[in-house]
Amino acid sequence: MKGVKNICCIGAGYVGGPTMAVIALKCPHIKVNIVDINEERIAAWNGDDLDQLPIYEPGLKEIVAETRDRNLFFTTDIEKGIEEADLIFISVNTPTKTYGKGKGQAADLKYIELCARKIAEVAKEDKIVIEKSTLPVRTAEALKSILENTGNGVNFEILSNPEFLAEGTAVEDLLSPDRVLIGGDNTETGQAAKNALTEVYANWVPKERILQTNVWSSELSKLTANAFLAQRISSINAMSALCEVTEADVDEVAKAIGMDSRIGAKFLKSSVGFGGSCFQKDILNLVYIAKSFGLQEVADYWEQVIILNDYQKRRFADKIIKESYNTVNGKNIAFFGWAFKKDTNDTRESAAIYVADYLLDEQADIIVYDPKVSKEQIYADLEYLNTHSSEEIRARVKVVSSPYEAVEKAHAIAVLTEWDEFINYDWSKIYDAMLKPANVFDGRNILRKEELSEIGFKVFNIGK
């Protein structure tokens, strides 16, 4: 197979955007087109103000500045992008189904299917199609079937190249990945396709870190990796509840077990619960797949990771209510943070959404400050739950652009995201602005408790 000269990526989101920007940076000889149906999003990627790119990731705007209009292009011309490309990445969203069979668990593949049909319709030469979205196992098979049955006689090779980047460190993860996984058929053409993609990554990733497998192993590895990571968080969060009723300190426990080299220190931070678009979705997929093969025990085992996570969010909201003399009705609760973690503006499945929802059930007034998340996103996240009317949400939830504004006459502060800036605020000024007793619920265990207690705050932590 000839060397890759042109890449098209369908979907200019959290995965497609940063991944293609890094490929363009490291492969100046390859032209990379990112295409998307969302005109507004494409316009934002092409905008003059690099601080207004649709996705915030540390280091991303610098790469876009260097590569955009050099060999990285953002466009809505999907057909041209497909036609020109040797390699097509599919990087569209695969949300959990909200209807029909598999509702609440299975991934909705309608966007993937639309892409496949578009590729089949437009392609006039052989193409390598790569699934990049977070996907359930067997998507490659579905893709193959659509492409083969509606194509115009051209040969498609389907590869699975799952994304292991973490939001907030996407650029760093892409620049020096622990491994790159490429799954494909072991036929001659399949092998050639795997090699072609390997050559692209080999421009900056050491060859020993590029792993070739069969499609199934590659797809299942992605789900397995996320299930293991989420399981670590649920495991330490389970211990946090036990720490709170004994005199143990979850950070001390985490440090102690993390020093065991068999366990390792990463992903042991207890918190209000994990969020993000991948963990919950991937585990639900795993559960759905296990069930559909009749493996009920396997499904139950992994489902418990989600159940524990829901429990942790509920527990945090309950704590706020209990410590507010058992009622938050009409009280001002300031939220510090809305994103599912720091250094991203992504809010999908963020713990903040669910904690806010529980507090709205109790008729609290919520004032949100997040350094990167927009007001409309916050309202959209709450409206999506469909548990409170849009009017009620807009009446009870206020979004402000400064932390000091958020705490004005607040009864309590809840820290929902671990943004670094929260630590170094003028906490005396915050104390003065609040109603007393001034309670702080540190859902991320990031604040300096002693300092805050000296000022007069009552600080509640997770697992202490």
Active site residues: 278
User: Which has the closest alpha carbon to 185: 161, 159, 154, 221?
Assistant: 159
User: Which has the closest alpha carbon to 373: 419, 414, 412, 337?
Assistant: 337
| Interface with ligand ADP, residue 18, by CB under 6 A | no
87-120: burial string, b at 16+ Cβ within 10 Å, e else: bbbbbbbbebbeeeebeebbbbbebbeebbebbb
The least CB distance from residue 92 to ligand ADP, in Å, is: 4
Nearer to ligand ADP, 347 or 417 (CB): 347
In the numeric block, which tokens belong to residue 79? Answer: 């057909």
Please tell me whether residue 256 adopts helix, strand or coil conformation: helix
| Residue 402 DSSP code | -
The answer to whether the CB of 97 falls within 8 A of the CB of 107 is yes
Q: How far apart are CA 435 and CA 407, in angstroms?
A: 9
Number of residues that bind ligand ADP (CB under 6 A): 21
Q: Which stretch binds ligand ADP (CB under 6 A): 32-40, 58-66, 81-89, 186-194?
A: 32-40
Sites for ligand ADP among residues 86-105 (CB under 6 A):
91-93
134 annotated binding-site participant: yes
Q: How far apart are CA 365 and CA 358, in angstroms?
A: 12
| Interface with ligand ADP, residue 198, by CB under 6 A | no
Q: How far apart are CA 229 and CA 232, in angstroms?
A: 5
Question: Contact with ligand ADP (CB under 6 A): which of 44, 114, 166, 211?
Answer: 114
Sites for ligand ADP among residues 273-312 (CB under 6 A):
277
170 annotated binding-site participant: no
Question: Contact with ligand ADP (CB under 6 A): which of 74, 111, 201, 288?
Answer: 111
The answer to whether the CB of 362 falls within 8 A of the CB of 279 is no
The least CB distance from residue 180 to ligand ADP, in Å, is: 17
340 annotated binding-site participant: yes
Segment 102-107 long-range contacts (CB within 8 Å, at least 24 positions apart): 102/288, 104/284, 105/284, 105/285, 105/287, 105/288, 106/136, 106/284, 106/285, 106/288, 107/134, 107/135, 107/136, 107/281, 107/285
User: Which has the closest alpha carbon to 252: 232, 238, 236, 263?
Assistant: 236
| Interface with ligand ADP, residue 257, by CB under 6 A | no
Question: Contact with ligand ADP (CB under 6 A): which of 1, 6, 37, 310?
Answer: 37
- Using Cβ positions, the residue closest to ligand ADP within the complex turns out to be 13
Nearer to ligand ADP, 11 or 443 (CB): 11
Q: Which stretch binds ligand ADP (CB under 6 A): 110-118, 135-143, 200-208, 261-269?
A: 110-118
| Interface with ligand ADP, residue 212, by CB under 6 A | no
| Interface with ligand ADP, residue 11, by CB under 6 A | yes
Nearer to ligand ADP, 15 or 120 (CB): 15
Q: Find how far residue 371's CA is from the centre of its chain.
A: 17
The least CB distance from residue 90 to ligand ADP, in Å, is: 9
x/- letters, 41..80, toward ligand ADP (CB under 6 A): x------------------------------------x--
Nearer to ligand ADP, 8 or 440 (CB): 8
Q: How far apart are CA 446 and CA 454, in angstroms?
A: 16
Contact residues for 228 (Cβ-Cβ < 8 A; gap 6+): none
Binding site for ligand ADP (CB under 6 A): 10-16, 36-38, 41, 78, 91-93, 111, 114-115, 133-134, 277
Q: Which residues are annotated as part of the binding site for substrate?
A: 163-167, 222-226, 262, 269-275, 340-341, 444
